[in-house]
Structure 1
Amino acid sequence: MTGGVSALVLIDAFRMGGAETLLAPMIVASRDTDVSMDVVSISPSEWNSEKTMTILAEAGIPTRSLGIRRLLDPVALPRLVRTIREGQYDVVHAHLEMAMTLAVPAAALAGRPSVCTFHHVARPLEGRAAWRERLAVEAATRSRRALFVSEASRRSFAENYRPKGMPANWEVMHNGIDIANFSPGQADPQVRRELAGGGDSLIAVLPAAFRDFKGIPVAIRAWPAVIEKFPSAVLALTGGGELEGELRQLVADLGLNESVNFVGVRTDMPEVYRAADVVVLPSTHGENLPTVLIESSATACAIAASRIGGIPDIVLDGETGLLFEAGSVEGFADTVCRLLGDAELRRRLGVAASERARSEFSATAWLARLRTTYLEAMGDRR
């Protein structure tokens, strides 16, 4: 493609997940550049998520599925090599393990460079899952760039697969999201009333699915110490999930029904962030690059979050938010109280967070970094 870059973006399947839903803002951002992207799934179309396909269709993104069901399918490599050659792509960018395991050798056979992106923090695996991930790591290490969306992700893969030294082509490249709607602004009084349960209170919003690694019980157990200093403060649990019954019982057991509100899954998250005095995320493990912290940063929220996984990639302690030790009830309470008691600190952190979200975590910034990586990978072929 003269004067630009043509990329084949490969993914395992259009399932409902973080990597899959990030495709839309990335490809939309490419429309204002000289990078063109075609997105193709390795797997059969019946494996696709209807919700993900709707998101892509609404963004005007055409898709294809190659119908490959397993890594050892004899048609897999020939079909992928043919796809690369027929599309005359300059570079192949694979997301997730099956895609990169096939993409790296296929791109080499087609005479094209490949780039791979890992989207999770590695954890110990067994059986076929361990075998599949090891194959993907070996393939990605042979590509021009193996990208990890957080330092925690890169470090975890090094500990599991390269304990004697990290390969030179392993790099951190943060994802970006569409932050157009997540701009600073005045809080909607109605939304504040909904979060606070009707009162005029200081509000800490915890935006997370009710899952074990989100650390929501840490926030609930810390809340008595918070309301001891700020009696009208409210913790608004924004989300839902299988642990809701247990969390409601914990709130009742601690006598917190008046100061901890379950506000459900919201479709107006920009307004929720603008209505919050503080956004909290007390995750205990498993976090890579939580989107809610990018969104809330973009809206200039003051953030208190645990120092775990990829959270420190987003929240620079003392600069764009405050961090506390994961699992620490006392740390959570002290950090939230510090923010609730200092409006100027909240303002300063929020302004810095919003600026950094736009320069580092927008889809536009992500696409610019990818373009540079693609050109470097192409090298003399350009």
Structure 2
Amino acid sequence: MLSVYEGFFSGGARILHTDVVLGLQEGGQHHRVLSIHGEVLREATRQRMEDDASYRSLTTAGVEVTSLGRTFGLPGAFTADPTRFTGPELAATARAMAGADVILSLKEQPLGLLNQAGLPRRPVVVGLHRSDPENQGVALGELKAAIADGTVAACVCCAESTRAAYEAAGVPAELLHIIPNGVDLLRFRPDPARRVQLRAALGIPETAPVVVFAARYDAMKNVPLFLRAAREWLRHEPDGHVLMCGAGMTEDQPGLRADIDAVFGDDLRLTERLHRLGVRRDMEALYAAADVVGLTSAWGEAAPLCLIEGMMCGAVPVATDVGDSAAIVAGHGFVTPPDPVAIARAWSDAVAARPGLEPVVARSRERFSRTRMIASYAALIDQVHTEPIRPSLPEPPLPEPL
């Protein structure tokens, strides 16, 4: 098996796909990973492949990871044309593909590489992790081209909203398979000891209500809305604390700093309880320390990992109704309109409801299991491997001459 990544940078899709690769390797498959980019500047954060937690998890487990060495967004660095690849890049890709029976593409963006002429013909399974294919630039066109060519054997949709959106965008329904996201239930679980330790490290009292926001600094996450809700909540919860983590969620990020100044204005004293923690490798501890996991996204979400991971650690999910968020939260938390007052009120309601929701979440853990998810991926890959490569779709008929 070969997985192709656009790059190693912070994000739920990469975390999820990496966990799938690790799980499949544990089950006896042999996996390699090829990354198009070796370093990127995203969310105002310079992210090297070798520093990424997913990269380290893969290599520690013995998965070979190589890169075409491209960079993106770095000051003074050359950024290659994403639609063109050099001879050496194509040769490296061909070598990586030659030893694989099936290719996994992390989202549709790597198809711009896999669609290049002259590469070995292998069935491709594409992992789709968003609900807005129209906002993926040329990637949707690359996906349709790979389907027309017969290269794409299946698309894994992590959510019903993903399946519906891509079918509406013209992807054949028979190629769309729903495999809901799952997480490692041994890692993501309530942990009183971690809760106490993390709070102590951040100077947060054991009894203080805590909201965690795990997201990269991106427009789809609607960070200004989250901050307006945080201001409202911190005003009414004098003991409350808010944790912000993810790429770009740091004090030296200009965009976030400007957003905070604009939202909090004369109430900057409240930001003493607004903790900007950046990219973390101990998310299970942050979620265990929290009472609420919040999500304020405006578009694009499918099955947000933060809601599942946080919920499995005992934090009550509160989310806007985007993608499958409402289905994930149903019976376990709260869905809100994109209104800061309503969101702040829901956070307080979630803190109060947390003890009563604990047994409900405990009964639903199997639904969000990594084991279930990986078994479904393995079954689909086995099916793809035993089937012949799909033929190219016929060319549309030419119009009749006048």
Cross-structure match for 1:366: 373
* Unpaired segments ≥5 residues, structure 2: 41-47, 71-79, 389-402
CA distance in 1, matches of 2:349, 2:90: 57
1:148-187 correspondence to structure 2 within 5 Å: 148-159=157-168, 161-162=169-170, 166-186=172-192
Q: Secondary structure at the match of 2:191?
A: coil
- CA deviation map 1:230-275 (0-9, x unaligned): 7545141323243134325533535772884325345543222222
CA distance in 1, matches of 2:180, 2:334: 20
* Partner AA of 2:329 in structure 1: L
Work out whether residues 232 and 340 of structure 2, in 8 Å CA contact, stay in contact via their aligned partners in 1: no
Work out whether residues 307 and 324 of structure 1, in 8 Å CA contact, stay in contact via their aligned partners in 2: yes
Cross-structure match for 1:294: 308
Q: Secondary structure at the match of 1:64?
A: strand
Work out whether residues 104 and 140 of structure 1, in 8 Å CA contact, stay in contact via their aligned partners in 2: no
Work out whether residues 8 and 38 of structure 1, in 8 Å CA contact, stay in contact via their aligned partners in 2: yes
Cross-structure match for 2:125: 115
Cα distance, 1:121 vs. partner?
3.6
Cross-structure match for 2:400: none
Cross-structure match for 1:280: 294
Work out whether residues 184 and 274 of structure 1, in 8 Å CA contact, stay in contact via their aligned partners in 2: yes
1:377 to 2:388 alignment: no
Cα distance change on mapping 1:251 and 1:351 into 2, 3 Å: farther
Work out whether residues 154 and 384 of structure 2, in 8 Å CA contact, stay in contact via their aligned partners in 1: yes
Cα distance change on mapping 1:223 and 1:246 into 2, 3 Å: closer
Cα distance, 1:145 vs. partner?
0.7
CA distance in 2, matches of 1:207, 1:367: 24
* Partner AA of 1:301 in structure 2: A
Cα distance, 1:211 vs. partner?
4.2
1:1-382 correspondence to structure 2 within 5 Å: 7-14=1-8, 17-41=11-35, 43=36, 49-52=49-52, 53-65=55-67, 73=85, 83-85=96-98, 87=99, 89-97=100-108, 99-101=110-112, 103=114, 110=121, 112-122=122-132, 124=134, 130-140=137-147, 142=150, 143-159=152-168, 161-162=169-170, 166-186=172-192, 188-192=195-199, 197-198=204-205, 200-222=207-229, 231-239=237-245, 240-241=249-250, 242=253, 243-248=256-261, 250-254=263-267, 257=270, 260-262=273-275, 264-265=277-278, 267-312=281-326, 315-318=328-331, 320-325=332-337, 327-352=338-363, 354-358=365-369, 362=370, 364-379=371-386
Cα distance change on mapping 1:245 and 1:197 into 2, 3 Å: farther
CA distance in 1, matches of 2:59, 2:28: 22
Work out whether residues 321 and 353 of structure 1, in 8 Å CA contact, stay in contact via their aligned partners in 2: no
Cα distance, 1:183 vs. partner?
1.9
- CA deviation map 1:190-238 (0-9, x unaligned): 533566744732333333345443344434544576578x754514132
Work out whether residues 92 and 107 of structure 1, in 8 Å CA contact, stay in contact via their aligned partners in 2: no
* Partner AA of 2:62 in structure 1: G
CA distance in 2, matches of 1:67, 1:197: 42
Percent of residue pairs bearing the same amino acid type: 21
Question: Could you tell me the TM-score, scaled by structure 2's length?
Answer: 0.72
* Partner AA of 2:176 in structure 1: W
- CA deviation map 1:51-100 (0-9, x unaligned): 24545333432123468976565858787566544x2x432222243533
Work out whether residues 140 and 146 of structure 1, in 8 Å CA contact, stay in contact via their aligned partners in 2: no
Cα distance change on mapping 1:133 and 1:366 into 2, 3 Å: same
Work out whether residues 101 and 140 of structure 1, in 8 Å CA contact, stay in contact via their aligned partners in 2: no
State the superposition RMSD in angstroms.
3.9
* Partner AA of 1:93 in structure 2: L
Cross-structure match for 1:4: none
CA distance in 2, matches of 1:169, 1:288: 18
Cα distance change on mapping 1:19 and 1:305 into 2, 3 Å: closer
Question: Could you tell me the TM-score, scaled by structure 1's length?
Answer: 0.75
How many residues align structurally? 357
Work out whether residues 100 and 140 of structure 1, in 8 Å CA contact, stay in contact via their aligned partners in 2: no
CA distance in 1, matches of 2:313, 2:132: 30
Cα distance, 1:343 vs. partner?
4.2
CA distance in 1, matches of 2:37, 2:213: 37
Cross-structure match for 1:3: none
Cα distance, 1:349 vs. partner?
4.2
Cα distance, 1:312 vs. partner?
3.4
Q: Secondary structure at the match of 1:346?
A: helix
Cα distance, 1:184 vs. partner?
1.7
